A and B are shown apart, each in its own frame.
Chain A
């Protein structure tokens, strides 16, 4: 069974800080998804990557296939970035989800 581990579980930072959320995954996962869930809200897909790095605005996602590790970075963080960030590993059996990182950015 595929596994996905996220860290940290909770993260509080000040506005403007550089944020890193980590995700480790098991053998059998070949694509990594990053999702964002705002309080009381729906879930939005941010990135899907199977190699290298992707960037969208202030968000950057990287993946190291050899180490089975992915990171989501937020540059110049803002209170509106406060949300739960979820990584999900895609394999032959579908997606396996991490438990999420609860991020709070204080003004």
Chain B
């Protein structure tokens, strides 16, 4: 099993450009989520999904879109990149929704917006 696969590992965007961060898991997990990690701050939830066709906003959703058309994939779209979106992004999944299920993380995407 590959676990959670995130691509790309690194990306540089100019302000206003759009892009999609890919996330796929092969563990048949219900729950998938996107976080951003910034210096001096804990991981913050952007969007999450509790199953195919169901998505919801987290703590910092503005400027990001998600969709979940299959159990395996949960892409994160930046609609019009801004320097404030420079961050490291992590996708994570867990078997079931809720606080009792360990999270499995991807290796992260380091995004720089100039």
Contacts and interface: CB of A to CB of B under 8 A. Distances in A.
Interface of A: 4, 29-31, 33, 35, 41-45, 48, 50, 86, 88-92, 94-100
B45 interface: yes
Contact of A30 (B90, B99, B103): B99
A95 B44 CA distance: 9
Interface in B98-114: 98-108
Most buried by A among B99, B103, B107: B99
B8 to A, nearest CB: 14
Interface of A is mostly: strand
Interface of B: 33, 35, 40-45, 48, 58, 90, 92, 98-108
A95 B45 contact: yes
B44 to A, nearest CB: 8
Interface of B is mostly: loop
Given A41-B107, A44-B105, A95-B103, A90 B98 contact: yes
23 contacts: A30-B99, A33-B103, A35-B103, A35-B105, A42-B90, A42-B105, A42-B106, A42-B107, A43-B92, A43-B105, A43-B108, A45-B105, A48-B100, A50-B100, A88-B42, A94-B33, A97-B35, A97-B42, A97-B43, A97-B44, A98-B42, A99-B40, A100-B42
Nearest to B56: A94
A48 B102 contact: yes
A90 B106 contact: no
